[in-house]
Structure 1
Amino acid sequence: MTYSAVLRPRWTIKYVLSAITVSYFAICFLFDMPFFSSALPAYTGEYNVGTIDIEVPVEKRNISETVFKHGGKPAFELETVLFSLFYPAVKDARSQKPKHLWFPKPIALQAEGYARLAKINNFFTNSLFTLGLWTLAGSTSIPAAVDVPIHGTMKTYQNYETEHPVDDYGLPEYPLIVFSHGFASSRTDYSQYCGELASRGYVVAAIEHRDGSGPGSVIMRPDGSTTNRFLITAGELDPTPETPALKVMQLAFRQAEIEETVRVLRQINEGIGNEVFKTNARKEGKDLAEWQGRLNMERVVVGGHSYGATGAMQVLKGGHTYERPFVGAVILDPGKSSGPLNEDIRVPTLIIQSNSWSKAHSIFYGRPHFDVVKDIARKILDESHIFAWFVTSKGTTHPSVTDAPLIEPLLLMWTTGSTIQVREGIYQYVKATADFMLYLKDGHRRGILSEEVTHPEYDHDIRNDARKASMPKDIDKYWQIHVAPTTGCAYPGLCGVEHDHAARPPW
């Protein structure tokens, strides 16, 4: 081929496709973009965001006497707790460590987990799953800076004005959210939701559950030893449990992990962050000593999605305790197949369902799932005399709060039927959660929380033309409100009497 042929190529379909392919891979390589997927976007709040992985040992305890048939080892023995902290970070702090991968290494571990979930676990299929995951998102990283100082440390705090409460040194305290992931998920699946909240001034602890509901996770101990934990099926266990009994054990394990996460966070807040760092098998958290007094342990909220939402509701049973000091709950798509939902909830609660879950007529223990969730919200509101909301995020599907639609927007839109723009979907979840956190702070109802019921049943609009016209466009466009307190009422039990809707939450 002559030089002139190269400079003046024939514009065949083959040539054009080859040129596009080469250009695409070159751009991905030069700009460190993942192949065949979209990079996770930068966070949009006022704060830079840091992240720290913490895995520390706990006092060993068996949640159940159940063992694995192969090997006879305990199936639900809690050894360590692992969570990722997302937090407001010092502005423009440079990390000495690479960003966390969205698929933690080894990627083959999670690939095998998904193959087990699909019940096609063998060397060939595991290799195909590994190749597929690597191709789709193997190089995708979480945009938070790793192991950088928290915003407003003693080392960097100068003339800093904040709306947050402050400790004895005048440093801001950040409200805390403990977040639980769904079935077949991990702590990294919700990094955008958690990171966006961190960029708005909240600390989020995203737990990695080792209850056998995730595809794959490596248990790491301070002595360097490791154990791989995969998805657990009832057939692997002795005695073999029925499915409901297996879920009871998994949810009990999740509750123990949530309680241990709170314990570790208390230690960090009480000034022994260095000890946590020394025992952290993930070797991160070098500045945790600077976190003393930085977590507002009076404003701890529990949240979760799907199976994690069911678990978050469960830990609220029995009310406020030292181990479970939660003053609010953010419940996202409470599970349809993760066991009964706890109705004994005595804290302000925001329940958000995706459009796909509210729309579907699913029978849940003999009743429509939508009605079960709605009745729980009404019970909190009417019987406990505590504020509760139950809303639907229009245009969303079950995965919309996860990172998956951001990484593979076209694939997820095609397979799930989502109609909302993927970034907008995450933003709406974050905005509603942030409005709820601010309500817990000062009692003021903002955004969607300031509105009354619009749709007592899914897609049944009871508003007149005047109310439709007066409703803010972003609320009308993105939300249906099924349960909400009366706008002019501070306390649900006193509705009918004029009260300031900005009164403090009822505790």
Structure 2
Amino acid sequence: MKPFPEASTMGKAPPTRLRFPPILRPRLSWRYIFCSSVAIYIIYCYIFSTPLFAHPLPNYSGPYSVGAVDVEIPLKSPRLIDTARFKGTKENAFELETVLFTLYYPAIQNAVSHKPKHHWIPKPVSVTAEGYAKFAHMNNFIVNKLMTGAVSGLVGGIEIPAQVDVPLADLVATVTATPETRNDDGEIEKVIQISREGHPVVVFSHGMASSRTDYTHYAGELASRGYVVALIEHRDGSCPGSVIMKNGESESVKLTFDVPEVETKNGRELTVDEFKTAQLDFREAEIEETVKVLRLINEGHGEEVLKKNSRGEGADFGNWKGRINTDQMVVAGHSYGATGAMQALRGGPSSKRPFSGAIVLDPGKASGRLNDDIRVPVLVIHSNSWSSKRSVFYGRTHFDTVFDIVENNVLRGMPSWFATSLGTSHPSVTDAPLLEPLLLSWTTGARIDVYEGLRQYVHVTEDFLWFLSTGEKRSLLREKAEFPQYDEGMGFGVWKPAQGENEKMGGPWYDWRRYWQVHISPN
């Protein structure tokens, strides 16, 4: 006999039990928890328009608000930089029709734009995605669609924090502080330097497989400190994809292209060196055209530039007259762009290229020979990965080639520096580590915190720009060169403050050793 007799069911319908689909019957296995977490995260990103897995770009830390303006201006007549043509269409591959750049600049306090912020991946996303697929040699209809979906999902919704098309700030003073300027209470005093030449200008050239939006935080940080930065978008085949816009004409797209796709006008294959020469010449022409536009704005032709700008921005250009320093600009670049920046220094400052200095970040290892005809101060920064890897470069190591170029410039009387940023990798100066910090750390080997790494780049750049303006060496630029070669044994995190001989006047003064190795210094 059963301990609890069953109730009689005679004449009654059997009770029904609600059946839930398996996904709604939770079993706390690791698979269920993982899948549920991913689903919740995706729903959250969809509801709040947040890109999957990517971090938003942080705000800028300087005293100024930051503005951004896209500028695309047609040339009076197209410039044929090289006669190479595309094999399929027979169109000129290196004909310059318009110049495109984004200006990052110090804006008036608390500036708020009524225009939408710029997207980190310009619209349409499919152009950039197809360019990435082409770089990977997988360019076809299906892969392009998959790549567009992936790019849109990962970073398609990322916005650049700069306010679009707001007024330029007045440059009343530049503020700096050093440990030596302390008052009686030990507090650091602010030293104010009045500038009458206008905001200093930096013209920046991007690297291979990059575009003008890959360095927005570096540029924005400099803008928040009073500098105007022009990030050029190159149409030399190095950018994944760029939309060419002209007022009154249909848009066209120029995707990345490489040596096998072009030929000479006589139908001969180009060599790699010939192709890279054409690319660098094209970049130099784009740099010159950018300088022309900036000068027009500074000379009081801002309204004319606004009318010609096919991007429809620059409403305040009419008020920029005499407020930016276009007589002594600085050229800068990263990777392929660093090689291009060095080339733009050929022959010294000229009317077309009025550069009083250069910032060279990881000069290219596969972008052609490096120009050594330099007659202005230069700051060359290698990432840790760039210095630590011994690369053969035209018969000798790349590091030694760069070392000799900088050293010879110092011997010519031009104060110049060459240093390695410890713990960083090649992309550390770009926005990529900020957007995907874990992914970039795993894939590139960077050991420094992504924010600290970029902060170090910004600070040493600001110190160099300060030196060009005032002649004063501060922070890292005051130190002597102690590493004629990169020393792996003294890499990132090895040295710490308060270690014996590295003390001076009772306090740590070599804290920079945690982040830098100085190879060449004029001190």
Does the C-alpha gap of structure 1 residues 183 and 164 become closer, same or farther in structure 2, counting only changes over 3 Å? farther
- Structure 2 residue corresponding to 1:127, chosen from 120, 124, 145: 145
| Alpha-carbon distance in structure 1 between the residues aligned to 2:384 and 2:31 | 42
The answer to whether residue 372 in structure 2 is matched with residue 343 in structure 1 is yes
- 1:272-291, aligned counterparts within 5 Å? 272-291=301-320
Match of 1:416 among 444, 460, 469: 444
- Could you tell me which residue of structure 2 aligns to residue 37 of structure 1? 54
Q: Distance in 1 between matches of 2:312 and 2:194?
A: 30
Q: Measure how far apart 1:8 and its partner are.
A: 12
**What letter is aligned with 2:518?**
I
1:360-439 paired onto structure 2 within 5 Å: 360-382=389-411, 384-439=412-467
1:107 equivalent among 125, 131, 148: 125
Distance in 2 (alpha carbons) for counterparts of 1:430 and 1:407 = 18
The number of aligned residues is: 473
Is 2:272 the partner of 1:243? yes
Aligned-pair distance for 1:164? 4.6
Q: How does 1:12-51 map to 2 (within 5 A)?
A: 12-13=29-30, 15-29=32-46, 31-51=48-68
Task: Kindly state the Cα deviation for residue 133 of structure 1 after the two structures are TM-superposed.
Answer: 1.3
| 449-458 or 30-39: bigger deviation | 30-39
Match for 1:454 among 476, 479, 482? Answer: 482
Q: Distance in 1 between matches of 2:128 and 2:49?
A: 23
- Show the counterpart of 1:499: none
- Counterpart CA distance in 2 for 1:28 and 1:273 is 41
Look up the match of 1:92. Answer: 110
Mapped to 2, the partners of 1:277 and 1:21 lie a distance apart of: 46
Deviations 1:322-354 (A, max 9, x none): 110000000000000000000011101000000
**TM-score after normalising by structure 1:** 0.89
Q: Which residue number corresponds to residue 234 of structure 1? A: 259
Distance 2:109 2:120 in 1: 23
Q: State the Cα deviation string for residues 86-119 of structure 1 (Å, max 9, x = none).
A: 0001122211111111111111111111111111
- Which moves more between the two structures, 133-142 or 279-288? 133-142
- Give the secondary structure class of the aligned counterpart of 1:54: strand
Partners of 1:84 and 1:474 in 2: CA distance: 35
2:503 maps to what in 1?
469
Q: Is residue 2:199 matched to residue 1:174?
A: yes
- 2:306–2:315 CA contact under 8 A, matched in 1: yes
Identity, % of aligned positions: 51
Q: Could you tell me whether the CA contact under 8 Å between 2:209 and 2:239 is conserved in 1?
A: yes
Matched, 1:61 2:79: yes
C-alpha change, 1:27 and 1:91, in structure 2 (3 Å) is farther
1:135-155 superposed Cα distances (whole Å, 9 cap, x missing partner): 22111111111111111399x
The one-character-per-residue Cα deviations of 1:218-253 (angstroms, maximum 9, x if unpaired) are: 111112322211111222212221010000000000
- Aligned equivalents of 1:46, 1:2: Cα separation in 2: 61
Aligned residue number for residue 242 of structure 2:
217
Distance 1:481 1:473 in 2: 12
Q: Give the Cα separation in 2 of the matches to 1:148 and 1:165.
A: 22
Asked if the contact 1:455–1:461 (Cα under 8 Å) also holds between the matched residues in 2, the reply is no
In structure 2, relative to structure 1, the CA distance for the partners of 1:100 and 1:208 (3 Å cut) is same
- The SS at the match of 1:166 is coil
- In 1, Cα distance between the equivalents of 2:442 and 2:24? 39
| Mapped partners of 1:321, 1:11: distance in 2 | 70
Equivalent position amino acid for 2:207 in 1: G
Measured in 1, the distance between the counterparts of 2:514 and 2:49 equals 36
Counterpart in the other structure of 1:146: 164
Q: TM-score, normalised by structure 2?
A: 0.86
Read off the aligned partner of 1:217 and give its amino acid letter.
S
Q: Report how far residue 298 of structure 1 moved.
A: 3.3
Q: Which amino acid aligns with 1:166?
A: R
Instruction: Summarize deviations over 1:376-403 as a string: whole Å, max 9, x none.
Output: 1100001x11101000000001001001
Residue number in structure 2 paired with 1:204: 229
In 1, Cα distance between the equivalents of 2:194 and 2:453? Answer: 27
For residue 106 of structure 1, what is the amino acid of its counterpart? Answer: P
Q: Which residue of 2 aligns with 1:445?
A: 473
Deviation at 1:9?
Answer: 6.8
> Are 1:483 and 2:486 counterparts?
no
**8 Å Cα contact 1:224/1:281 also seen in 2:** no
Q: Distance in 2 between matches of 1:467 and 1:263?
A: 51
SS at match of 1:431: helix
Deviates more, 1:57-66 or 1:81-90: 57-66
Structure 1 window deviating more from structure 2 (26-35 vs 319-328): it is 26-35
Aligned-residue CA RMSD (Å): 2.4
* SS in structure 1 of the partner of residue 213 of structure 2: helix
Equivalent in the alignment of 2:292: 263
* Inter-partner Cα distance in structure 2 for 1:56 and 1:164: 33
| Distance change >3 Å, CA 86–CA 14, structure 1 → 2 | same
Q: What corresponds to 2:209 in structure 1?
A: 184
Q: Check whether the contact 2:171–2:195 (CA below 8 A) recurs between aligned residues.
A: no
Give unpaired runs (5+ residues) of structure 2: 1-17, 173-190
- The code of the aligned residue for 2:285 comes to A
Distance 2:138 2:381 in 1: 34
Q: Which deviates more from structure 2 when the two are superposed, residues 471-480 or residues 193-202?
A: 471-480
2:95 pairs with 1:77:
yes
Query: In 1, Cα distance between the equivalents of 2:488 and 2:433?
Result: 28
Contact 2:171 2:199 in 1 (8 A): no
Q: CA deviation at 1:461?
A: 7.9
Contact 2:502–2:510, Cα closer than 8 Å, also in 1: no
Taking structure 1 as reference, are residues 296 and 162 closer, same or farther at Cα in structure 2, changes over 3 Å only? farther
